[in-house]
Amino acid sequence: MVDKPDNRNDCTLRYPMHMSNEITLQDHNWSSGQRCLNAPAMLLAAGRGERMRPLTDSVPKPLLKVRGKPLMLWHAEALAKAGCPKVVVNTAWLGQQIEQTMGNALVLKQNEPQSGKAASMPIAYSHEAIDFGRALETAGGIARALPLLADEVFWVVAGDVFMPGFTFDSKSVTQFKQSGMLAHIWLVPNPEHNLKGDFGLDLNALPPLAQNLTEDTTLPRYTYSTIGLYRKELFSVPWCDIEPGNPKGVSALLAPLLRAAMRDGCVSAELYDGEWTDVGTPERLAKLNVDNSEMN
């Protein structure tokens, strides 16, 4: 699906800085008079959650509750607090439940109750099951949602990962735009279920680069957290051959695109050492909630 480009070895030189117009939004505390340069976000929520059955037979995985609130709401609230101008959610399995729960906007009240004001982050939906009768996988889903994102740079985060301390910082967006990279991803230490990791990290590069290392390497590999900043260009030729807007409903994974871009030094990365859980089994979900009850 991905053709390796020719003579493309300097990502920074090939990609000029893409600066969008400033978005008038309040800061993460929603105080008045603040402005930010944050980006829209794609929240991946279309998976069936086979390993979570029977819990996901009647509830979509991103709506399973962790510490008292739906899993995907943790990300949505963090994005809203960071001044994200818009979130696009892709759905498939029980997608109508997600839209009914999340609504068309996430409204956060200001810290000053007397003001009576609120800040609202719009939520749009890409209903893959309605359009094509199935989920389109990660890259296929992102390609389908690009017209709704309507920006050159955007966040991507999986709705089934618990990462409560992560900040969707507008400074990261600005740095990414200036870097010329196609993607910037956050890696985490390997959990027990993925001890071999996904990608390497070259800290000697500037910026540090994600590496497509083989499993038999002696160099350390880390797990992809599922959070990243992406440039729209990664989802077009020569990196991706899906038509704009994915009108045919092509299913495609994100990892091959990332690996192709890594080979050309076009994916930067950093290590995140905060709390992170891939909520992929009922046991991991139960442990998160048990740990919370013990803390309280």
30/209: higher pLDDT: 209
- Which residues make beta-bridge pairs with 45? 91
Distance from C-alpha of 83 to C-alpha of 125, rounded to nearest angstrom: 19
Which residues have a Cβ under 8 Å from the Cβ of 274 and sit 6 or more positions away?
Answer: 163, 165, 166
3/169: higher pLDDT: 169
Instruction: Give which of 154, 193, 174, 180 is closest to 276, Cα–Cα.
Output: 193
pLDDT surpasses 80 at 109: no
DSSP state of 83: T
Domain presence at residue 152: yes
Domain presence at residue 175: yes
Distance from C-alpha of 247 to C-alpha of 27, rounded to nearest angstrom: 36
pLDDT band at 30 (very low <50, low <70, confident <90, very high): very low
- Over residues 38-60, the mean pLDDT reads 90
pLDDT band at 118 (very low <50, low <70, confident <90, very high): low
Per-residue model confidence (pLDDT) at position 216: 83
Per-residue model confidence (pLDDT) at position 49: 81
CB-based contact 121:106 (threshold 8 Å): yes
Per-residue model confidence (pLDDT) at position 74: 95
pLDDT surpasses 90 at 55: no
Domain presence at residue 217: yes
230/118: higher pLDDT: 230
pLDDT surpasses 80 at 119: no
How many domains in the chain?
A: 1
Domain presence at residue 16: no
pLDDT surpasses 80 at 110: no
Q: Which two tokens stand for residue 4?
A: 């390796």
Domain presence at residue 4: no
- Over residues 76-91, the mean pLDDT reads 94
Over the chain, what is the mean pLDDT?
84
CATH of the domain at 268: 3.90.550.10
pTM to 2 decimal places? 0.84
- Over residues 223-231, the mean pLDDT reads 97
Distance from C-alpha of 157 to C-alpha of 55, rounded to nearest angstrom: 22
Per-residue model confidence (pLDDT) at position 214: 85
Per-residue model confidence (pLDDT) at position 293: 53
Q: What is the pLDDT of residues 246-277, one digit of tens each?
A: 999 999 999 999 999 999 999 999 999 999 99
- Over residues 28-51, the mean pLDDT reads 71
In degrees, rounded to 5, the angle at the alpha carbon of residue 62 between the alpha carbons of residues 182 and 175 is: 25
* Residue-range definition of the domain harbouring residue 271: 22-295
CB-based contact 127:102 (threshold 8 Å): no
Which residues have a Cβ under 8 Å from the Cβ of 32 and sit 6 or more positions away?
Answer: 26
Which residues have a Cβ under 8 Å from the Cβ of 61 and sit 6 or more positions away?
Answer: 45, 47, 48, 49, 52, 55, 71, 93, 159, 160, 279
- Over residues 78-104, the mean pLDDT reads 92
Which residues have a Cβ under 8 Å from the Cβ of 159 and sit 6 or more positions away?
Answer: 43, 44, 45, 61, 62, 71, 72, 75, 89
Domain presence at residue 14: no
Domain presence at residue 10: no
Domain presence at residue 5: no
- Over residues 97-113, the mean pLDDT reads 80
Give the SS3 label for residue 28.
coil
Min mean pLDDT across 36-50, 72-86, 249-263 is at: 36-50
Hey, what long-range contacts does 162-165 have (CB within 8 A, 24 or more apart)?
Answer: 162/66, 162/71, 162/74, 162/275, 162/276, 162/277, 162/279, 162/288, 163/74, 163/75, 163/225, 163/227, 163/272, 163/274, 163/275, 163/276, 163/277, 164/67, 164/74, 164/78, 164/275, 165/274, 165/275
pLDDT surpasses 70 at 181: yes
pLDDT band at 295 (very low <50, low <70, confident <90, very high): low
pLDDT surpasses 70 at 43: yes
In the chain, the percentage of residues whose pLDDT exceeds 90 is: 69
Distance from C-alpha of 193 to C-alpha of 221, rounded to nearest angstrom: 14
